[in-house]
Every structure is written in structure tokens, then in C-alpha cells.
Amino acid sequence: MDFLSSLRHVVIDAQCLQTDTVERGIGRYSLNLVRAMAHGAPDLRITLLLNRVTDPRWSVRLLDYFTSVRANVSHLYFDSPSGRQVQFAGARRVAELSREQAISSLNPDSLLILSAFQQTRETILAPRKATRHIPTFAILYDLIPFVFMESFLYTPSLKRAYKQRLSVLQDCDGLLAISNATKATWIDMISTQPPVTVIGGAHCSPPDQLPPVPLTRRRGVLCVGAETPNKNLDVLLDAYARLPSDLRRMHGLENVGIRDSGFRRYLSSRYQGPPGDLSIPPYVTDSELVNSLRSARLLAMPSTMEGLGLPVLEAMEFGTPCVVATGSSLVELSSNPATHFSPQDVNGLRSLLINVLSNDYTWAQLHDSIREQVSAFTWPSVARRTLERLAAGIAVG
């Protein structure tokens, strides 16, 4: 990679990986990105910047992961007051200075912030003061809380905290968006600055370790949801309840990813079909999710907004067709128009489900078209686009 000649040392603010969700969502994306950067540029020195006061269980897990990945990944802790103390402005300023001093001591060519929003109380991020000379970039995952403010930012303190993190992104030299839809949302709702580069994403599951599941053994409609309004689960429940009874008996609807037991009860009460057709299990393990993704007849994602939609890529890697709502990043992943439906069109989704569930020829066509679609999403290509942007930032600086 000739463009890396000017890029020798990158510091990655990895505080978002010091959480119990390190292997889910943003955490999973970040782990795969850093690993691909390390493998793609073995001469590049990568230092993970970590917060010393964060729960050590997750830091140990994180560092164990990278120990087996590449020798060119190291780490540095910066000192910070406890989570209780950093609620006070004076203590937080001390922590912010400590972070910047740690970055400066490393004298990197570039700084990459993995996530400005996935945070615990101890996470320390702020607009630059002492490190303005260091080209700084951040991954832009989504702006879902900003769009659905009533559901996410429902108190003054939550709004202040979110806007403070927005100021961190606005203070960067560039943002790296995981989808074109996310880039468009930033430009439409926040600003045309800093410039946004789309780096995309890739699947995160280990398909090579598992045999493919043939069509004759595939059963069910799978949805990876959450308790948030952007997931648009009511439309899926309505469409599925209107399916012919024989299809529902053969292909139950499984909605995974719901942590809150109260919301699981709400979804169950909202469903108008026979209770036995719908399964909403407690939060599943990674292995359980992989098994569902590879053995389902199809994945249905009615979301009105996603940052990227990793479950779609992961399902496609297992050869599982995906039907997705239009108007979001999901159509960038499952690009076949035959798999698209309007997010509020219950009857349109119903017809699509019937066609894929009852017609083996249609399923086989969609299955066969997946390989070409998913081949465009690889971690080496995401890492290359990331490193190219960091290197370009040095040249501009």
C-alpha cells in the first residue's frame, strides 16, 4: 500500500470497547475494523488508547483479543477520575487533559475515534485543545438518537450529553461513515463539515467454520430487532399475522435482540395472530444468533433507519435471503429490488413474505444472487478505505 508511506503510527481511541457490549453492534464492528487495519498494514504501529478506570473485566477481554491478532497492536492507558467524580466539571476537565497528554506523548500521525456515542459514564471525549495539530477522525455510525429524540434523548441531561458528543464529531478533521445513508443524514441534519467519507462495513460472523444449511432444513422468519422505534417492528408483526395459517405454522416468526422483558411482553400483546407462531426469546448469545441467521428461511428487517445493518450482511454470508425496508442503509446491502418493501406498507411486506416463504424457486433465485452482493463487503476493503483517509489527512495537514 504505497499510500501508507506517510502513515507510520495511528492512535485509536478504543474506550467504546471497554464495555460489556464489546462483541455486539458497534463493538463488533470496531474489533473487526482494527483487526483488518492491523493485518492490512503490518508495518503500521497501532496504539489503542484506553481509560484506566473503566471496568477491568472488559479491558482484559479486549486486550486478550488483540494479543492473538497482531504484534503491531499495543495499548496505553490514560488516568482519569472515577465515574462518580467525572460528573463534576473540574474533575472531567482533568480527565480530558489527561487523555490529550497521553495522545501527545505518543506523537501519532493520526488519531481515530472508534465511537463518540457508545459510552459509559467514565468515557472521556471532548473537542481538542492540546492535540489540534494531530489529524483527528471519527467513525460515524448513525444519528438515530438525534432523529428519534423523544425516544432516546428524553431528559435535558441526555440531550446535553448527546450534543457534547456531537461537538466532538464536529471538531474532527473528517468523519468515516459506515453507510451512504448515514453520511446523507449527517449532511442533512448536522452540517456539511467536517467532510464525510464512506468506508462501509462487512459481515462479522465466522461462516467458514459452519456448513451451509440446505433449503429443506430451513424454517422461520427471523428479525433482529430492538426496543427502539426505528426498528419498526409493528409493521412486521401486522404483516406476519396476515400470512396464511399454513405458512405461519411452518415458518414461525422469531424476533431476537430484545433485552427488556416488558417490551417483549408488549410485542407479544401487540401480535394479532396465534401466540404459538411468535417467539421473542431473551437476549441471545452470539452462537444462538449465528444459528438463527444460518437456519432461517429469510431475515426480515423493517427498520426505517439503521447505521449500516450488520445482521443483513451476516445473514447474507450464510446464504439467507433478506427482505428489507426502503429509505435506509439496508438497501445498500441487500440491493436486489425484489427484496425491498416500503416501511409502512403492511400488505406489500405480506406479499413479499408469502412469495419467499412459499416459492422455492424464488428463494433459490434470491439465495444465488447473494454471493455477488456480499462479495462487495469485506473487512480488507473497509480497512483500506479507512487507512487511505487517514493518510490523506496527513497530506492535507
Q: What's the length of the chain?
A: 397
Residues 168 and 29 in one domain: yes
Residues 135 and 24 in one domain: yes
**pLDDT at position 18:** 84
d(C-alpha 287, C-alpha 284), whole Å: 8
Residues 141 and 283 in one domain: no
Which run of H or of E encompasses 57? helix 56-67
Residues 266 and 370 in one domain: yes
Locate cell 457508545: which residue? Answer: 118
Ranges under pLDDT 70 in the chain? 1-4, 21-23, 68-71, 83, 86, 119-121, 205-209, 395-397
**pLDDT at position 81:** 77
- Eight-state DSSP code of residue 179: S
Number of domains in the chain: 2
Residues 117 and 225 in one domain: no
Residues 81 and 62 in one domain: yes
**Which among 17, 14, 72 has a CA at the least distance from the CA of 46?**
72
Residues 182 and 218 in one domain: no
Residues 249 and 325 in one domain: yes
Locate cell 492473538: which residue? Answer: 68
The domain of 214 spans: 207-374
Residues 94 and 30 in one domain: yes
User: Quick check: helix, strand or coil at residue 363?
Assistant: helix
What are the residues whose beta carbons fall under 8 Å from the beta carbon of 28, sequence distance 6 or more? Answer: 204, 310
In the chain, beta strands by DSSP E:
9-13, 45-51, 73-78, 110-113, 136-140, 174-177, 196-198, 221-224, 253-256, 278-279, 298-301, 322-325, 340-341
**pLDDT at position 70:** 61
Residue 27 burial class via C-beta count within 10 angstroms: exposed 0-12, middle 13-18, buried 19 and up = buried
**pLDDT at position 315:** 93
Residues 387 and 370 in one domain: no
Residues 273 and 359 in one domain: yes
Q: Domain of 332: which CATH number?
A: 3.40.50.2000
Which grid coordinates belong to 329? Answer: 442503509
**pLDDT at position 61:** 74
Residues 217 and 259 in one domain: yes
Task: Give this prediction's pTM.
Answer: 0.91
What are the residues whose beta carbons fall under 8 Å from the beta carbon of 69, sequence distance 6 or more? Answer: 35, 38, 39
**pLDDT at position 69:** 60
